[in-house]
Amino acid sequence: MERLLTTNIPSSTGIFGCCTDISQWEDDDISLRVAASRSFLSYDQPSVLEMIAFPEICDCHTKDLFLYLRNKMLQMWHCYPQTEVTLKNVLEELSSPYDEPLNYPSRRVIVIGAGIAGITAAQQLKNLGLDVLLLEARPRIGGRVSTFMKSLNTISSNHSNEEQIFAELGASSIYGALSNPLMTVIKQFEIQCNPVLLDSCALYNSSGTAVELSCARLIERLFHNFIYASSYLSNTKNIFEAKGQMLSLKDAFDIMLKEEEYILQARRISFLQSYHNILKKLQIVQDSMVIIKNEIQCMSQTYKHSKEMTGGTDWNEEKIVKKDIAEKCIRKDIDDAINSYESLQMRRETLRQAIEKFKRDKPRYVVHLIRRAMV
Question: May I ask the CATH architecture of the domain 1-102+182-193?
Answer: Orthogonal Bundle (1.10)
- Which DSSP symbol is given to 198? G
Domain borders along the chain are 1-102+182-193, 197-375
- Check if the beta carbon of residue 198 is closer than 8 Å to that of residue 220: yes
Give tens-digit pLDDT for 50-106: 888 888 777 666 788 888 888 888 888 888 888 888 888 887 877 565 555 556 667
Of 175-179, 182-186, 224-228, the range with the lowest mean pLDDT is: 175-179
Angle of helix 60-79 relative to helix 29-38, nearest 10 degrees? 80
Distance CA 375, CA 372 (A): 5
Beta bridge partners of 203: none
Please compute, for residue 361, the number of CA atoms within 13 A of its CA located in the half-sphere on the CB side.
12
pLDDT in tens, 313-355: 566 777 778 888 888 898 888 889 999 999 999 999 999 988 8
CB 240 within 8 A of CB 48: yes
Most confidently predicted of 209-213, 235-239, 330-334 = 330-334
Contact 207, 213 (CB under 8 A): no
| Confidence grade of residue 12 (pLDDT, cut at 50, 70, 90) | very low
Phi, psi angles (nearest 5°) of residue 171:
-65, 125
Given this model, what pLDDT does residue 3 score? 35
Kindly report the length of the chain.
375
> Quick check: 135 and 111 in contact, CB under 8 A?
yes
DSSP 161: E
Beta-carbon contacts of residue 355 (< 8 Å; ≥ 6 apart)? 275, 278, 279, 282
What pTM was computed for the model? 0.39
| CA distance linking residue 42 with residue 206, whole number of Å | 40
Q: Classify 272 as helix, strand or coil.
A: helix
Question: How many Cβ atoms from other residues are within 10 Å of residue 200's Cβ?
Answer: 6
pLDDT band at 160; cut points 50, 70, 90? low
Which position has the higher pLDDT, 331 or 206? 331
Task: For residue 143, give every residue at least 6 positions away whose Cβ sits within 8 Å of its Cβ, in sequence order, or none.
Answer: 113, 114, 115, 116, 117, 118, 170
- pLDDT per residue as tens digits for the range 17-51: 333 444 454 556 788 888 888 888 888 888 888 88
pLDDT of residue 16: 32
Angstrom distances, CA of residue 169 to CA of 145, 149, 219, 245:
7, 10, 21, 34
